[in-house]
């Protein structure tokens, strides 16, 4: 069975015929630990080079999020990694976040609890 065709919301094609398409998504799926969003990075514990590599933990495809949560649960021998579907939230600007962080007033994970 093939995947359903995505709904294209916006499309831009440049002179070299490369096309950027904005697709409709059901929501955003984040891997969470104990209900809080997490970031993931890999580092070489023996060398500082090439430095940490940050991996994605938020996806528009639920399958990727579930696969990552399953892999993390297996690696860390737990069942605490879950997938959270985010369908709403506050629209913010970089300036608003910078101001809120400056005054220690923002923890976005706790704002909608």
33-42 pLDDT per residue, tens = 999 999 999 9
Question: Residue 24 falls within a domain, yes or no?
Answer: yes
Question: Residue 66 falls within a domain, yes or no?
Answer: yes
Domain, as residue range, for 30: 8-111
Reported in sequence order, the residue ranges of the chain that DSSP labels E, i.e. its strands, are: 8-13, 19-23, 28-33, 36-37, 40-42, 53-55, 58-59, 81-86
Predicted confidence (pLDDT) per residue in 3-17, tens digit: 789 899 999 999 999
- Number of domains observed in the structure of the chain: 1
Question: Residue 1 falls within a domain, yes or no?
Answer: no
Question: Residue 38 falls within a domain, yes or no?
Answer: yes
Question: Residue 100 falls within a domain, yes or no?
Answer: yes
Output the pLDDT for position 106. Answer: 58
Question: Residue 72 falls within a domain, yes or no?
Answer: yes
pTM of the predicted model, to two decimals? 0.75
């Amino acid at each position: 069975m093939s995947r359903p065709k995505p709904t294209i919301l916006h499309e831009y094609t440049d002179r070299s015929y490369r096309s950027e398409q904005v697709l409709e998504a059901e929501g955003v799926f984040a891997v969470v630990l104990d209900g809080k969003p997490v970031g993931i990075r890999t580092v070489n514990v023996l060398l500082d080079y090439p430095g940490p590599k940050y991996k994605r933990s938020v996806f528009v495809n639920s399958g990727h999020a579930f696969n990552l949560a399953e892999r993390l649960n297996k690696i860390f021998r737990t069942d605490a990694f879950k997938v959270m579907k985010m369908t709403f939230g506050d629209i913010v600007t970089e300036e608003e976040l910078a101001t809120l962080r400056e005054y220690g007033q923002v923890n976005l994970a706790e704002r909608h609890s």
